[in-house]
Amino acid sequence: MNTTKDLNSLPSERSWALDYIGINWTPDFNCWDFAKWVLLDRLGIDAATAFDAIHNPLSIDDSGEAIANGLLGSWKEVSSPMPLHLCVMGKKDTLHHVGVVVDSDTIIHTNKGMPACCTSIEEIKTKFKTIKFYTYAKDHTG
């Protein structure tokens, strides 16, 4: 069953996600670039700066591993996702994909060859072995 959300089904308080639906994935603008852009645009958080602790530019795999291993003090794992938290995912033990939480059961993300879309967290759970949620530590929500 495809549980990708219809644009009209997003609650109005989460309608901010509509601004990003359909933005194309490219090799130069992948899922991590998309998530960084949303955080910068919506919250003014320069996620690229937070990840300079590892190297620049940061690969998708390195970003997920760095967050998961607590190497970046700017990010805090949370158990209950809230809007604009990161959702970091992996098919095995390596985290390699990222999206942004829209509401308690939806993320927005891009994927190779796919424009940005909203997908239910339930559907994400069927496609990824590991799913973790993070907030920017200065935010301390969650």
pLDDT, tens only, 59-77:
445 556 666 555 556 777 8
DSSP for 18-75 reads GGTTTPPPBTTB-HHHHHHHHHHHHH---HHHHGGGT-SSPPHHHHHHHHHTT--TTE
Q: Work out the average pLDDT over 92-119.
A: 89
Q: Work out the average pLDDT over 90-100.
A: 81
The answer, yes or no, to whether residue 138 has pLDDT greater than 90, is no
In the block, tokens 């059961």 appear at 105
The answer, yes or no, to whether residue 19 has pLDDT greater than 90, is yes
Residue 107 has what pLDDT?
96
Domain ranges of the chain: 15-136
Q: Tokens representing 82?
A: 């809230």
- For the domain covering 15-136, report its CATH number: 3.90.1720.10
pLDDT above 70 coverage of the chain, percent? 68
Q: Work out the average pLDDT over 38-60.
A: 62
Residue 70 has what pLDDT?
57
CB 61 within 8 A of CB 68: no
